[in-house]
Amino acid sequence: MDNEKTEKAVFAGGCFWCMEPPFDKLDGVISTTSGYSGGHTKNPSYKQVSSGQTGHTEAMQVVYNPGQISFEQLLAVFWRNVDPTRNDGQFCDGGNQYRPAIFYHDDAQKLAANASKASIIDSKTFAEMIKVEIVKATTFYAAEDYHQDYYRKNPVRYKYYRYSCGRDRRLKELWGDKTG
């Protein structure tokens, strides 16, 4: 087992503040970075992305040790933290800039992402269509510093936002107690 090897995964699941905590607590995850992916503007700012004009979605890059945690395990956490039936936003955040997506870096990630999506569809857990995009990763742009680890830096504001957005309530409706 190569403990020094790292790989990257990029997931979009609505507000990037809310996507960091479930991954940060996993053994084998080295870091999470909030940012933007999937758009056409170079070096976009939060203001530009949140306007919906850059084509980016709020995303999170996970650097992980594949000797400790697999991409498939990361995918399982991703699915339990999104509403896979929406592609027009997530929870209280509306718009294409909050669409859920899996950005794959290579053929192995693409195959795993497609297999995980097929498994969700085959489970017939949802009456609605699964709308999570699986697309090739392009440039990932880190968000401004004040967005990084927001849940740690601003715990009261973060908890209020997460609660008022209805994220946990909706995740429980979708997944029961199996959220990550």
Q: From the candidates 15, 18, 92, 165, which is the catalytic residue?
A: 15
Closest residue by Cα to residue 148 from 26, 23, 34, 24: 34
Distance between CA atoms of 14 and 99, rounded to whole angstroms? Answer: 6
CA atoms within 13 A on the CB side of 152: 10
CA atoms within 13 A on the CB side of 126: 21
* Ordered DSSP codes for 100-113: -EEEESSHHHHHHH
CB atoms within 10 A of CB 163: 11
Task: Name 148's Cβ contacts closer than 8 Å, sequence gap at least 6.
Answer: 33, 34, 142
Mark whether 15 is an active-site residue: yes
Closest residue by Cα to residue 74 from 26, 118, 114: 26
Strand partners, 64: 7, 29
Show which residues are catalytic: 15
